[in-house]
């Protein structure tokens, strides 16, 4: 019987994609995935450092494993963004003696060697390299879905938003060669992939560091030409770097899905400045207006941070005003979390109750607007790429071009296919419809 592994992933899509790459390495070595800690020989925690609660989940899991002798002979590995911090790494290595392997976000390529070395010597292995060195590497990955895939286009980030740890964990921004990306997507499509999601911390600055210079617009145009590729999505654009030629693609490229996830962070120009975001609310609204002019059906979603240390009630109200104005289709809202070494962590935190109250008001408004937007989709038909079928209830679910979750009475043969569904009912987060 094959030995088993389990990977727990705590972070963003880039983190998820890194886990898919690790899966490939493990299966090449003959291991099989399980979702049960007890069955696993190898336990991997792929960590995230973006907010304190992401870190606490990792400590929680390491803690209960340590206290339980059933797990004494497991090979516990910790990787991901938390491991890029010297202090956190040291803390974990000191406190959790059960951790056998530690490696960083730039050590995925030699994970197989690291593991083999541990198996031979039984020694604790620590491998961390600072530099982003994967711009010329095309990784194999085990995807959870056959028909959709993540594709990295840039690594790292140069923006240094004052609250954010990513530039410290993922290093400086670098772009992959355009030809390598196109080749990777072509290979994926030959393998049955219909939808790709391009990944980068700031996809609109793609290609700036390449020789000759390339642009995100150029990349999208090239990818749109790939026969049998059906859908292109991406995460995350930065409002500062969005130009008109990019927005115009929403009217030109048939495969570019009408979806724009545009992090706002705050609706106050003062706070945006404090955060080092380099755009104004006016510029932001201008992008939204143009995008909707080009495609009125585009869905717009966002990320917002509540309780940045310099945020006043007035500033917060401006965030609510922006939400009213943009009428987002969905949003990720976060409470500010001070991250070590970032400039914002040196500022005095706001009162917790004040922040919670703001957070709740924002969530309430967001849900209301989201619901109203969803109501307007009733009676409309959308192409849905079917992701799964639940045989117990007989329903299938998938995503429409705007990225909304659509549930309908379907069959297992539809998984991986694009079908047309008319929306009949909705709630805040899901649409329900029937095949047409
Ligand atoms: N590169 C992307 C997003 C990276 S992190 C971008 O710039 O949009 C995803 C989101 O986490 C951010 O958009 C931000 O809203 C949130 N975030 C980042 N650091 C945070 C912190 N210290 N506290 C709370 N939320 C944070
Ligand atoms: Fe963090 Fe800002 Fe870079 Fe996004 S753009 S990863 S928020 S520093
Ligand atoms: Fe977290 Fe690292 Fe992503 S800090 S959000 S896993 S880049």
- Give the per-residue pLDDT at 136: 85
φ/ψ (deg, to 5) at 381:
-110, 145
Q: How far is CA 402 from CA 53, 122, 353, 384, in A?
A: 30, 50, 35, 10
pLDDT band per the 50, 70, 90 thresholds, residue 161: very high
Give, in degrees to the nearest 5, the angle at Cα 301 between 254 and 284.
95
Crossing angle between the packed helical segments 13-28 and 111-121, to the nearest 10 degrees: 50
- Say which DSSP state 256 is in: B
Distance (angstroms) between ligand 3 centre and the Cα of 144 equals: 20
Distance (angstroms) between ligand 1 centre and the Cα of 164 equals: 6
Distance (angstroms) between ligand 1 centre and the Cα of 50 equals: 7
- Residue list, ligand 2 pocket, CB within 6 Å: 157, 159-161, 164, 166-167, 201-202, 238
Residue 135 scores a pLDDT above 90: no
Q: Can you tell me the mean pLDDT for 200-209?
A: 95
Sign of the Cα pseudo-torsion (323, 328, 330, 332, in order):
negative
Residue 42 scores a pLDDT above 90: yes
Which of 49, 155, 161, 172 to mutate for ligand 3's pocket (most ligand atoms within 8 Å of CB)? 49
For the Cβ of 12 lying below 6 angstroms from any atom of ligand 3, the answer is: yes
For the Cβ of 265 lying below 6 angstroms from any atom of ligand 1, the answer is: yes
User: Looking at ligand 3, which atom is closest to the CA of residue 170?
Assistant: 7
Q: Can you tell me the mean pLDDT for 73-95?
A: 96
Answer yes or no: are the C-beta atoms of 37 and 71 closer than 8 Å.
yes
Q: Can you tell me the mean pLDDT for 184-213?
A: 96
Give residue 247's Cα distance to chain centre: 21
Closest residue by Cα to atom 5, ligand 3, is 12
Closest residue by Cα to atom 10, ligand 1, is 303
Structure tokens given for 213: 């210079």
Report the share of the chain in percent with pLDDT over 70.
100
Q: Can you tell me the mean pLDDT for 60-79?
A: 93
Give pLDDT tens digits for 330-356. Answer: 999 999 999 999 999 999 999 999 999
Task: Provide the β-strand partners of residue 43.
Answer: 6, 76
Closest residue by Cα to atom 1, ligand 2, is 164
pLDDT band per the 50, 70, 90 thresholds, residue 288: very high
Distance (angstroms) between ligand 3 centre and the Cα of 165 equals: 8
What's the rounded Cα separation, in Å, for the pair 95 and 73?
17
For the Cβ of 263 lying below 6 angstroms from any atom of ligand 1, the answer is: yes
For the Cβ of 261 lying below 6 angstroms from any atom of ligand 1, the answer is: no
- Give the per-residue pLDDT at 329: 97
Distance (angstroms) between ligand 1 centre and the Cα of 358 equals: 18
Place of tokens 């401006």: 318
Give pLDDT tens digits for 237-276. Answer: 999 999 999 999 999 999 999 999 999 999 999 999 999 9
- Give the per-residue pLDDT at 422: 98
What sections of 252-351 are H helices per DSSP? 269-274, 281-294, 313-326
Give pLDDT tens digits for 206-217. Answer: 999 899 999 999
Q: Can you tell me the mean pLDDT for 399-409?
A: 98
pLDDT band per the 50, 70, 90 thresholds, residue 7: very high
For the Cβ of 79 lying below 6 angstroms from any atom of ligand 3, the answer is: no
Q: Can you tell me the mean pLDDT for 63-70?
A: 89
pLDDT band per the 50, 70, 90 thresholds, residue 67: confident
Distance (angstroms) between ligand 2 centre and the Cα of 302 equals: 14
- Give the per-residue pLDDT at 1: 85
Q: What is the mean pLDDT of the chain?
A: 96
Ligand nearest to the CA of 159: 2
Q: Can you tell me the mean pLDDT for 136-160?
A: 94
pLDDT band per the 50, 70, 90 thresholds, residue 130: confident
User: Looking at ligand 2, which atom is closest to the CA of residue 276?
Assistant: 2
What sections of 11-85 are H helices per DSSP? 13-28, 52-66
Dihedral through CA 206, CA 194, CA 110, CA 181, nearest 10? -30
């Amino acid at each position: 019987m094959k030995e088993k592994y389990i990977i727990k992933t705590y972070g963003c899509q880039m983190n998820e994609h890194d886990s898919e790459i690790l899966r490939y390495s493990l299966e090449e070595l003959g291991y099989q995935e399980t979702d049960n800690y007890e069955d696993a020989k190898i336990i991997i925690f792929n960590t995230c450092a973006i907010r304190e609660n992401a870190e606490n989940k990792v400590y929680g899991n390491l803690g209960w494993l340590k206290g339980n002798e059933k797990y004494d002979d497991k090979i516990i590995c910790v990787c991901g963004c938390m491991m890029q911090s010297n202090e956190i790494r040291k803390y974990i290595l000191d406190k959790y003696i059960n951790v056998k392997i530690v490696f960083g976000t730039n050590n995925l390529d030699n994970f197989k060697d690291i593991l083999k070395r541990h198996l031979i010597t039984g020694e604790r292995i620590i491998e961390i390299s600072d530099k982003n060195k994967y711009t010329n590497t095309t990784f194999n990955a085990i995807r959870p879905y056959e028909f959709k895939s993540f594709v990295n286009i840039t690594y790292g980030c140069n923006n240094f938003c004052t609250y954010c740890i990513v530039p410290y964990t993922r290093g400086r921004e670098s772009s992959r060669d355009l030809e390598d990306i196109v080749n990777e997507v072509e290979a994926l499509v030959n393998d049955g992939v219909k939808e790709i999601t391009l990944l980068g911390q700031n996809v609109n600055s793609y290609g700036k560091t390449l020789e000759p210079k390339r642009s995100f617009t150029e990349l999208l145009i090239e990818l749109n030409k790939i026969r049998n590729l059906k859908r292109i999505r991406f995460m995350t654009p930065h409002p500062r770097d969005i130009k008109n030629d990019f927005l115009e693609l929403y009217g030109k490229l048939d495969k570019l899905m009408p979806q724009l996830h545009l992090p706002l962070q705050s609706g106050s120009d003062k706070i945006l400045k404090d955060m080092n975001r380099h755009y104004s609310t006016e510029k932001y609204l201008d992008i939204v207006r143009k995008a909707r002019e080009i495609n009125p059906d585009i869905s717009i979603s966002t990320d917002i941070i509540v309780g940045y240390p310099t945020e006043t009630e007035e500033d917060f109200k401006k965030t609510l005003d922006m939400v009213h104005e943009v009428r987002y289709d969905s949003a990720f809202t976060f409470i500010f979390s001070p991250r070590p070494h970032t400039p914002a962590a040196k500022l005095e935190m706001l009162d917790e109750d004040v922040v919670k109250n703001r957070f709740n008001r924002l969530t309430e408004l967001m849900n209301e607007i989201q619901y109203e937007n969803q109501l307007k989709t009733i009676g409309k038909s959308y192409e849905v790429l079917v992701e799964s079928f639940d045989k117990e209830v007989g329903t299938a679910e998938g995503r429409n071009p705007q990225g909304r979750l659509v549930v309908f009475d379907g069959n297992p043969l539809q998984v991986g296919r694009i079908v047309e569904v008319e929306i009949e009912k909705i709630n805040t987060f899901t649409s329900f419809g029937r095949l047409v």
